[in-house]
Amino acid sequence: MKAVVLASGGLDSTVAAAMARRDGYALYLLTIEYGQRHHVEIQKAREIAAWLEAGEHKILRFDLHAFGGSALVGSGDVPKNRSEHERETGIPSTYVPARNTVFLSLALAYAEVVDASCIFIGANVLDYSGYPDCRPEFLRAFERVARLGTKKGTHGNTVRIKAPLLLLSKTQIIQQGLALGVPFELTHSCYDPRGDGSACGQCDSCLIRLKGFEDAGLRDPVPYAARASDASSAP
């Protein structure tokens, strides 16, 4: 069995890839260099691909920065220190227009070429409820597109979209990764890293990740420029 995995270098996609490997899939990783300000994740994806012993790892440049429309590609500032209530309200400026639609389309093309039966994506609706392209109904709809719009689909071989983390909390995702031996220190989640690659500790992604590790009773091993817990305990 073969699976294409959308591998960003982040915690969620790495755990999803580890789950695919556990389930017996030969891994074909696809990382998209789309003009993201957190470019450090590309190198992290390379390191994770090596750890996973992926059969193949493709890094594809597809410049969404040319369109703009998102803080992740330089259109405005990344929001910092937002409360949980604020993070659950509306669609944040870090939403990249149609990103998962574009990424899944590219992964689908790759899956057809290597004859993969499914695509794994680290989408999560609980921690990122503001992103419309992380919803179960979107993923189901894209699976139907994959069936209708591909050679494999017309031959009755639908490419399935697998999102094993979809309904898990960040803490549960971390616990799953821990059980699978995921090297969390290789992953990167920050939307606005410092020049040295350290995480800011203040963007939505950092806050959610730090809270997940805290609730799991663990300390996140990646370097942070600042941690909310450290700041609150300072004299």
Q: What is the pLDDT of residues 36-48, one digit of tens each?
A: 988 899 999 999 9
Q: Which residue has the higher pLDDT, 233 or 127?
A: 127
CB 158 within 8 A of CB 143: yes
- Which residues are CB-neighbours of 147 under 8 A, at least 6 positions away? 153, 158, 159
> What DSSP letter does each residue of 48-100 carry, written as one string?
HHHHHT-SEEEEEE--GGGT--SGGGTSSPPPBS--HHHHTSS--TTPPTTHH
The gap from C-alpha 193 to its chain's centroid, in whole angstroms, comes to 16
What proportion of the chain, given as a percentage, has pLDDT over 70?
Answer: 95
Q: Does position 57 have pLDDT exceeding 80, yes or no?
A: yes
pLDDT for 233: 40
> Given the structure tokens 């509306």, which residue do they identify?
90
Length of the chain: 235
Across 75-90, average pLDDT = 88
CA distances from 227 to 201, 214, 220 (A): 5, 11, 10
Query: Which residues sit opposite 56 in a β-bridge?
Result: 28
Decide the pairing of beta strands 56-61 and 2-6: unpaired
* H-helix segments, 53-98: 84-87
Q: Does position 228 have pLDDT exceeding 70, yes or no?
A: no
pLDDT for 201: 96
CB 175 within 8 A of CB 216: yes
Question: Per residue in 91-131, pLDDT tens?
Answer: 889 999 999 999 999 999 999 999 999 999 999 987 666 78
- Single pTM value for the model: 0.93
Confidence of residue 86 (pLDDT cuts 50, 70, 90): confident
Mean pLDDT, rounded, of the chain: 92
Across 148-175, average pLDDT = 95
pLDDT for 192: 94
Q: Does position 234 have pLDDT exceeding 70, yes or no?
A: no
pLDDT for 232: 41
Q: Does position 235 have pLDDT exceeding 60, yes or no?
A: no
Q: Which residue has the higher pLDDT, 187 or 197?
A: 187
- Which residues are CB-neighbours of 38 under 8 A, at least 6 positions away? 72, 188, 190, 191, 192, 193
Query: Which residues sit opposite 161 in a β-bridge?
Result: 119
Instruction: Identify the CA nearest to 204 among candidates 81, 118, 37, 50.
Output: 81
